[in-house]
Chains A and B, each alone.
Chain A
Amino acid sequence: MLEVDQIKVQAAPAELERIPLVGNQRGPGWLSDRIASVIEGETPGWWKICFAISLTMMTVCFGMILYLMSTGVGVWGVTHPVMWGWAIVNFVWWIGIGHAGTLISAILFLLRQRWRTSINRAAEAMTIFAVMCAGIFPLIHIGRIWYGWWLFPIPNSNSIWPQFRSPLMWDVFAVSTYFTVSVLFWYMGLIPDLAVMRDRAKTKIRKIGYGLFALGWRGSNRHWSNYEKAYLILAGLSTPLVLSVHSIVSLDFSVSQLPGWHTTIFPPYFVAGAVYSGFGMVLTLLIPLRRMLHLEEIITVRHVELMCKVTLATGSIVGYAYLMEFFIAWYSGNPYERFMFFHNRAADPFIVAPLLHIRPAPYWWAFWIMWSCNVMVPQFFWFKKVRTSMLAVFVLSILVNVGMWFERFVIVVLSLQREFIPSNWGYYAPSPVDVLQYLGTFGLFFTFFLLFIRYIPLVAIAEVKGVTPQADAHHPLGGAKIGDKH
């Protein structure tokens, strides 16, 4: 017989403590209030200042476009043989930034990464605005902007039909598809939240405005069921696009035959770089925002840490790709490839050039900025201390974007500067118009982004509620409570 006292009641092992995705055990009501208050509260002073600056810069952006269109591409620094300059660098850079949003909302959704819910809305908005900024450049960089529509397959009496063998053509389709699907996906996810805003609205204008875009959402079971299905389908559609858009942008280069461009490694390398820079930009935007808008309990340190880890992973892929480029340049034995990588990129006047007995490359510093920002900077994210220090992460995330801009600069400009026939060799220097045009797109980006945070819930209210313990019927805190019982 077994005595009662003999029975050892073993306590279940303690569960590993999960850091909650929403801090301080905040409930659904609080979440709604908190997120909606960003919109409903008074316009903060910093918002007004930022908006004024952004609006001015956006005016500069359009002013520069007007100048460019009326005068000619020559106002930029592009020249012979470097026919593509900052415009294409900026295009690829902005497109890269536009990667994080859709990756977060689609791929992480499919992979059931619940932490994405706090950041996906803002990241998707960032994607859309970044792609808008990106889309400006290929259009305005062409010589006769008014004929840009010839790149679209529009039947017309001139018998002008695009040439489908050109990667620029593929770009047109890739970017426009990506933009369309991203906008749809973002808007789909917004519908329940717009309904929340409509329901909370106190003014007529808001009621009508939000009501119009909420498409009559009532939160019924049928609505939710259709919504979930549609969201899943769009996530499924977006996922390949995340990979395709930057792969195709990379083909602009790898289809050509320039040393430094003609590289089969480009598609995965570009995608990894894009995700890397996209997460960098999300961090740059959200770290100050969570502080200013008091969203620390929704966008927690854990979120930041997780994003740092993604950045570290993709940054390391990029670093590997850099090394591989050098290895292949050397291993191929092709003197032109070797020249491009060793003489024309890496040769700095202090170590590499003296070591190899060669002349320093004209833009060695651009290469080394790229190398340090993209390969060395993410290595800091191995340390938890760094990952949890918001200031450190903010600074490093900016460096990530600087590095990625220089990566595109190195690829586009340095490869063109000195390629096959030495008599063609030249040099590229941006003109003030290039610089203002680039800064101008920041104005465009931030104008839209500031309007977004002011008028659209910047965290997906419905989705964030779904990841709180309260949403789980089996959680001690969750479910509908009837009396004391679960």
Chain B
Amino acid sequence: MKTIPPPCPEPEVGPKYWRSLEQLADTPEFHQWVEREFPSGASEFTDPVSRRNFVKVMSASFLLAGLGATGCRRPTEKIYPFAKMPLNYTYGVPQYFATAMPSRRGATPLIVKSSEGRPIKIEGNPDFPDGNGGTDHITQASVLSLYDPDRAMRVRRNGSGDSRAAILDFLQSLGKSAGDGTGLAFLLEQSSSPSRDRLQQALTEKFPKAQWCLYEPVDLDAGRQAASLAYGSSVEPSYKLDQAQVIVSVDCDFIGSEQDAHGHIQRFTDGRTLNGKDDPMNRLYTVESLFTLTGLNSDHRLRVPPSMIVAVLARLALNVLKSSDIDQKLRELAAPAESHDAWIVPCAKDLVANAGKSLVLAGYRLPLAAHLLVTAMNDSLGAVNQTVEFHEAPKATGTTFPDLAAALNAGHVQTLIILGGNPAYNAPVDLNWPQAQAKAKTVVRLGYYEDETSWNAASHVDTQWDLPMAHYLESWGDVRTADGTVAPIQPLIDPLFGGITELEVLAAFGAMTPASPYEIVRETFRTLGGKSDDDWGKFLHDGFLAGSAAAKAASPQHNPAELASAINGLKASPAPTKDSLDVVFYRDAKMDDGRNNNNGWLQELPDPITKLTWDNAILLSPVTAQALGVFTNRNVQNQKFFNYRVELTVNGRTITGPIWVQPGLADNTVGLALGYGREKTGRVGTGTGFNAYKLRTTDTLYFASGATVKDLHDNSYELATTQSHWSMEGRPVVREANLAQYRKNPAFAKSMRPEMPPLNLPLYPNPLDTTKKNGLHQWGMSIDLNRCVGCSACMIACQSENNVPIVGKEMVGKSREMHWIRIDRYYSTPLGTSDEKEKGMEEPQAVVQPMLCQHCEAAPCENVCPVNATSHDDEGLNVMTYNRCVGTRYCSNNCPYKVRRFNFFDYNRRPLNHLYKSPLVTVTDGEWELLRWLKNPDKGNLPEDEWQLSRLVKNPDVTVRMRGVMEKCSLCLQRIEQAKIAAKVKARDSGDIRLSEAKGTVPKTACQQACPAGAIVFGDISDPKSTVTKLKAQERTYQVLDFLLTKPRTTYLARVRNPNQDMPDYKELPMPYTTKEYDSAKSGSLEEETSGKGEE
């Protein structure tokens, strides 16, 4: 799209002022004088033609100087901005485009904010029928990867640069000489793209003998496979968690690591909404080996080692299935779990009692038989079409990955085309993929990074072409979301480094026309029914094709035969001991399978449970760690974690890594996160963690047993965590109750606070109380702890919106991370004897709490700032003036919530490994930094490529803070101001400039928008009809540290658990007892409202 120039200036009317008679006369002398007075180049601004040239040249060099790239241009094809935005581009006004981020088997429909042609912020598409605008942290962070200075930037042939045209020609010639496809193999990642399907079909017709292999190191497809087997046709289950009253999750972290977790979170929390004491609430049971977010949010949790999970599942099935469905094999399988009957039997009873409203889920790590068992249970519980629906899904076909490796090793594959993925890093280690890959004569590899799979001199491959892959924000494409709805992928920017898409490679190989990805997608869209240009326009504009969701399987018939045969294949594995540990390989919450390894935002995002950053660790339960002599919880030096490093051996393969003691983990079980320890990655990912793939074989993709640990007696390795203290120390920070207590005393949260200080009559009225009356709005926030699951999408959304820098592992180790919003995680153990406490360490409950600036009405930070850098505005925001801040840091000391973050170094302008080096003695790009600074103080001290790219992702509406400045949550002040300006522009003479939720003009904060659970609600508390006002009126509302009378504008809705009385771990009170709760528990009443003295 060509830039439409800003509207012509209005014809000059009214009086004209001139600064001298010469100017009025417009004499040549005057022009000369202007040129002389101002620095060279200034006069060019008076000449429209050369000014345009100047801006053109400058913007190109600003954006991509030194990168040898083509420049930052808008794509040449027409794409449509989102409806709210003006059709004409206005400089400085951001545009919003609908697109979608592809994931393994689905996609997330998005609205992406673009500022001056740079995509800078990703938001969920709120119009998408199956979503609420919430996304996950990985989607939020994907925009940073677009500007990654380490991404693949050039076409390479055997390691040396080549041209884009050469590779496209080469692909065509390769396709021409491929014959019927013998000796040709494609290795692809999972994708839901209809266009790719279409191209693949076309190529299969052309090369019938070609092999097609889909490989995902972490395959989330098991649920579909099981459902397809059980129902005899290819169907995909979709879980209606909002309809379920009782949910049993068997090793299924549907809140964290399963496909489309944000969708699950949305539906799950819908089932936990409490607007009044009589509202129903779902109940979640979890059986798991690791401690996951799902376990954290469950009402009952059973921790068992992975080898026991199938047994527990079988035992549950015995109690749920009709006796006719049960055969002897199931009984055998279930036998080892008999000891857990106290837990399983009442759980199964609850499921059966709620038949039709109950649901069982199995996780991706479980074998197919387990999924079949779960499918059978759901069928038996009448869940079909109630809490689980099946819709048609394309069948997955092709060569399996081990078969492809075997074919390569046997020399059957001459040409290997790898599109995406990184098999050399993440293939099962027994396949020895790097060697297998080198057996092919010609390898064409499309990858986002120059990584392990890229050409490598040692591999002796004849010819390997490496192609830079385009980011999805640079590509044309299409995807199907989890429910099968087709969504477009639109480029918001031309490929920064000439990236190529999968579709382009396939089309070039098949010498197809049209060959441009745009045309390919357009063509596919025609086959999907979008005939006219208007349909296409609407498709791009909306970001999805309404009504294209896959057809629902009406009344699927369950076929128990598959189950019986699958179960017969299962073997019971022996229970682990400390000398023969079970190992769980899990998809990392941030790195996924390693694809996000070079993304700084994700590396620095604390893991939702361990709160570790920049590393993975060998997770062990406290008891196991103690038994192995590597218990390191108390080996804390300077609040840093120097944990033991151990050698972990599984089946003769060994890795070394640091120990992390994780309460709540199953005993004798090791948790290993995948995705770290990359050998060839970018500046960010290098040196993070260890590579757990080195232990993973084809047979032990997710579980292995018989692992041993050898202590290396080395605890010099530091782990950086953002939260080192586990306990709430009996303080009423997070307040929670069980559903029964909540129904008895809905205002239980308020009775948990310590005694409030008596309200003294003030000597003089608080000036803020009078400004409050002047403010047009009064902003406030309510966070529902019953909805928040701790997924951390808000943290990245905030980081992206507010230009929050990353600080690196060393700084996180010193607690200097910059996140404006953090998720606090507390473990809780029962009070009582030390034995009970010790036991509690094993089976803790945990809670999470988002913590951000509370915008106190009586803010302690404000009165201690000597330079007025933090002050209150009349709309109730505690605002921070960065320009005024001199950095005394007193505000942070006096903030009881400790939500202010300080720029100890120039994180935005200096390389993170040089922070401690004085610029007086450092050299960047061969130039002394002091000299660089003197020449141009606005230039960063980063290498040029990093500096230019790091600037592109910044939100221009938010100041980039320098060192020595305090910063904190502003409740997205820039969004509020933009909304206010828009309201003013619209109001004209009517004077109706007030934002209102009813009119939809109140903006959402970045964290609120990203939150799939809808836990964070921001709004105008002076508007009685606003959601936030209604939420704050709920009886569960409380303020953190209310007794300090800081009067925070951010309030929390207390958490409610819904335990089952018949369960063995049932407790009348939830575990994180506060002192107050404990006292009340002793005196036997939590019902009395003891406040009254204090001010409310």
**A-to-B contact residues, CB < 8 Å:** 66-67, 70-75, 78-81, 83-84, 141-145, 147-148, 150-151, 160-163, 165-169, 172, 252, 255-258, 333-336, 339, 362, 416, 418-427, 429
Report the separation of the CA atoms of residues A166 and B864 in the bound assembly, to the nearest whole angstrom.
4
| B335 sits at the interface (CB 8 A) | no
Instruction: With A83-B902, A335-B754 as known contacts, state yes or no: A142 contacts B888, CB within 8 Å.
Output: yes
Contacts of A160 in B (CB 8 A): 867-868, 884
Contacts of A258 in B (CB 8 A): 893-894, 896
Option from B729, B815, B860, B906 in Cβ contact (under 8 Å) with A422: B729
**B915 contacts A74, CB within 8 Å?**
yes
The A-contacting residues of B in range 984-1007, CB under 8 angstroms, are none
What residue of chain B has the Cβ atom nearest to residue A169's Cβ?
B866
Report the separation of the CA atoms of residues A54 and B905 in the bound assembly, to the nearest whole angstrom.
31
Report the separation of the CA atoms of residues A423 and B822 in the bound assembly, to the nearest whole angstrom.
10
Report the separation of the CA atoms of residues A420 and B824 in the bound assembly, to the nearest whole angstrom.
13
Report the separation of the CA atoms of residues A163 and B859 in the bound assembly, to the nearest whole angstrom.
15
**A166 contacts B902, CB within 8 Å?**
no
Instruction: With A73-B887, A335-B754 as known contacts, state yes or no: A425 contacts B864, CB within 8 Å.
Output: no
Instruction: With A256-B893, A421-B731 as known contacts, state yes or no: A143 contacts B860, CB within 8 Å.
Output: no
What residue of chain B has the Cβ atom nearest to residue A417's Cβ?
B639
Q: A70-B918, A258-B894 are in contact. List 15 more A-B contacts (CB 8 A).
A: A72-B903, A73-B964, A78-B904, A79-B904, A83-B892, A83-B893, A143-B888, A144-B886, A144-B962, A166-B864, A336-B731, A420-B731, A421-B851, A421-B896, A421-B1040
Instruction: With A72-B906, A73-B887, A335-B754 as known contacts, state yes or no: A421 contacts B824, CB within 8 Å.
Output: yes
**B864 contacts A255, CB within 8 Å?**
yes
Stretch from B116-124, B176-184, B719-727 at the A interface: B719-727
Return the CB mask of B801-813 against A: 1 if under 8 Å, else 0: 0000000000100
Instruction: With A72-B906, A74-B916, A257-B894 as known contacts, state yes or no: A144 contacts B868, CB within 8 Å.
Output: no
**A80 contacts B898, CB within 8 Å?**
yes
A-B contact pairs, 28 of them (CB 8 A): A70-B918, A71-B915, A71-B918, A72-B903, A74-B811, A74-B904, A74-B963, A79-B814, A79-B816, A81-B893, A84-B890, A84-B893, A142-B887, A142-B888, A144-B965, A148-B886, A150-B884, A151-B886, A161-B868, A168-B866, A334-B754, A421-B824, A421-B1041, A423-B725, A424-B897, A425-B725, A427-B638, A427-B815
**B867 contacts A78, CB within 8 Å?**
no
Closest 7 CB pairs of A and B: A143-B887, A143-B964, A427-B639, A74-B904, A83-B889, A423-B824, A424-B898
Report the separation of the CA atoms of residues A46 and B949 in the bound assembly, to the nearest whole angstrom.
60
Report the separation of the CA atoms of residues A290 and B631 in the bound assembly, to the nearest whole angstrom.
58
Option from B725, B864, B905, B906 in Cβ contact (under 8 Å) with A256: B864
**A144 contacts B887, CB within 8 Å?**
yes
**B866 contacts A162, CB within 8 Å?**
yes
Contacts of B728 in A (CB 8 A): 422
The A-contacting residues of B in range 866-891, CB under 8 angstroms, are 866-868, 884-890
Closest approach, in angstroms, between the C-beta of B428 and any C-beta of chain A? 39
**A80 contacts B815, CB within 8 Å?**
yes
Report the separation of the CA atoms of residues A416 and B889 in the bound assembly, to the nearest whole angstrom.
12
Contacts of B1041 in A (CB 8 A): 420-421
What residue of chain B has the Cβ atom nearest to residue A164's Cβ?
B866
**A420 contacts B897, CB within 8 Å?**
yes
Contacts of A255 in B (CB 8 A): 863-864
Option from A74, A142, A147, A257 in Cβ contact (under 8 Å) with B896: A257
The A-contacting residues of B in range 260-285, CB under 8 angstroms, are none
Instruction: With A81-B898, A160-B868, A162-B866 as known contacts, state yes or no: A147 contacts B851, CB within 8 Å.
Output: no
**B733 contacts A422, CB within 8 Å?**
yes
**B919 contacts A71, CB within 8 Å?**
yes
**B915 contacts A72, CB within 8 Å?**
yes
Contacts of B902 in A (CB 8 A): 73, 80, 83, 143
Contacts of B640 in A (CB 8 A): 427
Report the separation of the CA atoms of residues A419 and B906 in the bound assembly, to the nearest whole angstrom.
28
What residue of chain A has the Cβ atom nearest to residue B899's Cβ?
A424
What residue of chain B has the Cβ atom nearest to residue A420's Cβ?
B896
Contacts of A147 in B (CB 8 A): 886
Instruction: With A143-B885, A421-B1041 as known contacts, state yes or no: A74 contacts B638, CB within 8 Å.
Output: no
| B1022 sits at the interface (CB 8 A) | no
Q: Choose among A71, A84, A145, A151 the residue with the greatest number of B CB atoms under 10 Å from its CB.
A: A71
Closest approach, in angstroms, between the C-beta of A73 and any C-beta of chain B? 5
Report the separation of the CA atoms of residues A151 and B725 in the bound assembly, to the nearest whole angstrom.
37
The A-contacting residues of B in range 718-775, CB under 8 angstroms, are 723-725, 727-731, 733, 754-755
| B901 sits at the interface (CB 8 A) | yes
Contacts of B860 in A (CB 8 A): 256-257
The A-contacting residues of B in range 1024-1041, CB under 8 angstroms, are 1040-1041
Contacts of A81 in B (CB 8 A): 815, 892-893, 898
Contacts of A165 in B (CB 8 A): 863-864
| B670 sits at the interface (CB 8 A) | no
| B693 sits at the interface (CB 8 A) | no
Closest approach, in angstroms, between the C-beta of B695 and any C-beta of chain A? 33
Contacts of A144 in B (CB 8 A): 885-887, 962-965
What residue of chain A has the Cβ atom nearest to residue B881's Cβ?
A160
Report the separation of the CA atoms of residues A424 and B964 in the bound assembly, to the nearest whole angstrom.
21
Instruction: With A71-B917, A72-B964 as known contacts, state yes or no: A426 contacts B724, CB within 8 Å.
Output: yes
Contacts of A418 in B (CB 8 A): 725
What residue of chain A has the Cβ atom nearest to residue B723's Cβ?
A423
| B1044 sits at the interface (CB 8 A) | yes
**A256 contacts B918, CB within 8 Å?**
no
Option from A73, A163, A427 in Cβ contact (under 8 Å) with B867: A163
Contacts of B893 in A (CB 8 A): 81, 83-84, 256, 258, 416
Report the separation of the CA atoms of residues A167 and B891 in the bound assembly, to the nearest whole angstrom.
12
Contacts of A335 in B (CB 8 A): 730-731, 754, 1075
Report the separation of the CA atoms of residues A67 and B814 in the bound assembly, to the nearest whole angstrom.
20
| B865 sits at the interface (CB 8 A) | yes
Closest approach, in angstroms, between the C-beta of B39 and any C-beta of chain A? 23
| B21 sits at the interface (CB 8 A) | no
**B897 contacts A421, CB within 8 Å?**
yes
Closest approach, in angstroms, between the C-beta of B918 and any C-beta of chain A? 5
Report the separation of the CA atoms of residues A184 and B672 in the bound assembly, to the nearest whole angstrom.
70
**A71 contacts B896, CB within 8 Å?**
no
Report the separation of the CA atoms of residues A426 and B816 in the bound assembly, to the nearest whole angstrom.
11
Instruction: With A81-B815, A143-B903, A335-B754 as known contacts, state yes or no: A75 contacts B898, CB within 8 Å.
Output: no
**A163 contacts B1040, CB within 8 Å?**
no
Report the separation of the CA atoms of residues A256 and B898 in the bound assembly, to the nearest whole angstrom.
13
**A71 contacts B905, CB within 8 Å?**
yes
**B888 contacts A168, CB within 8 Å?**
yes
**B905 contacts A72, CB within 8 Å?**
yes
What residue of chain A has the Cβ atom nearest to residue B890's Cβ?
A168
Report the separation of the CA atoms of residues A396 and B307 in the bound assembly, to the nearest whole angstrom.
66
The A-contacting residues of B in range 45-83, CB under 8 angstroms, are none
Instruction: With A67-B918, A423-B826 as known contacts, state yes or no: A151 contacts B729, CB within 8 Å.
Output: no
Q: Choose among A143, A255, A420, A423 the residue with the greatest number of B CB atoms under 10 Å from its CB.
A: A423
| B920 sits at the interface (CB 8 A) | yes
Report the separation of the CA atoms of residues A400 and B936 in the bound assembly, to the nearest whole angstrom.
51
Contacts of A66 in B (CB 8 A): 918, 920
Report the separation of the CA atoms of residues A70 and B934 in the bound assembly, to the nearest whole angstrom.
13
Contacts of B903 in A (CB 8 A): 72, 143
**B866 contacts A172, CB within 8 Å?**
yes
| B146 sits at the interface (CB 8 A) | no
Closest approach, in angstroms, between the C-beta of B664 and any C-beta of chain A? 18
Contacts of B920 in A (CB 8 A): 66-67, 70
Contacts of B1040 in A (CB 8 A): 421
**B889 contacts A143, CB within 8 Å?**
yes
Q: Choose among A72, A73, A160 the residue with the greatest number of B CB atoms under 10 Å from its CB.
A: A72
Report the separation of the CA atoms of residues A258 and B860 in the bound assembly, to the nearest whole angstrom.
10
Report the separation of the CA atoms of residues A150 and B725 in the bound assembly, to the nearest whole angstrom.
38
Contacts of A336 in B (CB 8 A): 731
| B841 sits at the interface (CB 8 A) | no
Report the separation of the CA atoms of residues A228 and B696 in the bound assembly, to the nearest whole angstrom.
91
**B892 contacts A80, CB within 8 Å?**
yes
